[in-house]
Amino acid sequence: MTSILMVCLGNICRSPLAHGLLESKLPPDSFYVDSAGTANYHIGSLPDQRSIAVAKTHGIDISNQCGRQFNVSDFDTFDYIYVMDHSNFENVLKLARTTFDIAKVKLLLDFDTTSQIKEVPDPYYDKISGFETVFELLDNATNFIANQLLR
Ligand code: 4NP
């Protein structure tokens, strides 16, 4: 089993979408996908209603996800940890214990070699159109990641 963790700040907008998208592209018998936030604001919460709605229009159901905070044991549980922006990157690295932990953490959009944008923008204070943009960035990046993992 290969385990992949998607990380953002709140675990209600971006990482639940990345989680649902990658999960939809990998066989569940050999891949485990989860998501977490670096902050503790939304522990136990559903994804943001706008993320749920945008995912639904693309045929992905993320309404069964539950917010949680990233913790140091995630370095042991997960093989790959993908973060949405540089701030998430710094927050996760602060908890790393070893160079093995550090090596697991990657900026998600670095995998989309066609994208000029290297950080997934935080859509929390944005309109629904911001969530649609985030979905498209994540859809493209998770295509690259799924292809790489399935090779
Ligand atoms: P996310 O977005 O990191 O994509 O889940 C946010 C969600 C909530 C907050 C910030 C960003 N907040 O400040 O509560």
pLDDT in tens, the chain (151 residues): 999 999 999 999 999 999 999 999 999 999 999 999 999 999 999 999 999 999 999 999 999 999 999 999 999 999 999 999 999 999 999 999 999 999 999 999 999 999 999 999 999 999 999 999 999 999 999 999 999 999 9
pLDDT at position 49: 98
- The angle formed by the CA atoms of residues 32, 35 and 36, to the nearest 5 degrees, is 140
Query: Would you call 81 helix, strand, or coil by DSSP?
Result: strand
Provide the CATH topology of domain 2-149: Rossmann fold (3.40.50)
Which residue ranges have their beta carbon within 6 Å of ligand 1? 8-14, 37, 41, 122, 124
pLDDT at position 96: 98
- The angle formed by the CA atoms of residues 124, 134 and 54, to the nearest 5 degrees, is 85
State how far Cα 76 lies from the chain centre: 17
Active site residue 85: no
pLDDT at position 42: 98
pLDDT at position 122: 98
Alpha carbon distance 140, 21 (integer Å): 10
Q: Are 108 and 138 in contact (CB under 8 A)?
A: yes
- Give me the residue spans of the domains in the chain: 2-149
pLDDT at position 38: 98
Annotated catalytic residue within 34, 112, 122, 139: 122
Q: How many A from CA of 37 to the centre of ligand 1?
A: 8
pLDDT at position 74: 99
